[in-house]
């Protein structure tokens, strides 16, 4: 994978669909841009909020990490 920019949790938190137009989520250290997903409108997907690391939350979700395969990795979480 190419050299991706690194973002802090604070920088990720700003990409929540509210503060900036980007809607990003992190999983296992990768940051995904989910802005184009109709399931993430307004930065919320069921009980999950964008701008966060969802690694721990996904353990209880009805799907697995394959759900992220359709989204582009745009960075790494510091």
Which pLDDT score, from 0 to 100, does residue 27 have? 96
Domain annotation covers residue 1: no
For residues 74 and 28, the answer to whether their CB atoms sit within 8 Å is no
CATH number at residue 25: 3.10.120.10
Domain annotation covers residue 43: yes
The two tokens of residue 49 are: 């909020």
**Domain enclosing residue 11, as ranges:** 6-77
Q: With bands split at pLDDT 50, 70 and 90, how would you rate the model's confidence at 1?
A: low
Which pLDDT score, from 0 to 100, does residue 6 have? 98
Q: Is the pTM of this model over 0.85?
A: yes
Domain annotation covers residue 46: yes
Domain annotation covers residue 50: yes
- The domain total for the chain is 1
Question: Across the chain, what does the average pLDDT equal?
Answer: 92
More confident residue, 1 or 63: 63
Q: Annotate 8-45 with b (16+ C-beta within 10 A) or e (fewer).
A: eeebbbebbbeeeebbbbbbeebbbbbbebeebeebeb
């Amino acid at each position: 994978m190419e050299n991706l920019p690194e973002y802090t949790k604070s920088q990720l938190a700003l990409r929540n669909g509210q503060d900036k137009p980007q809607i990003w989520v992190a999983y296992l250290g990768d940051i995904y841009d989910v802005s184009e997903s109709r399931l993430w409108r307004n930065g919320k997907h069921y009980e999950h909020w964008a701008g966060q690391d969802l690694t721990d939350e996904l353990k209880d979700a009805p799907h697995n990490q394959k759900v992220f395969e359709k989204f582009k990795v745009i960075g790494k979480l510091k």
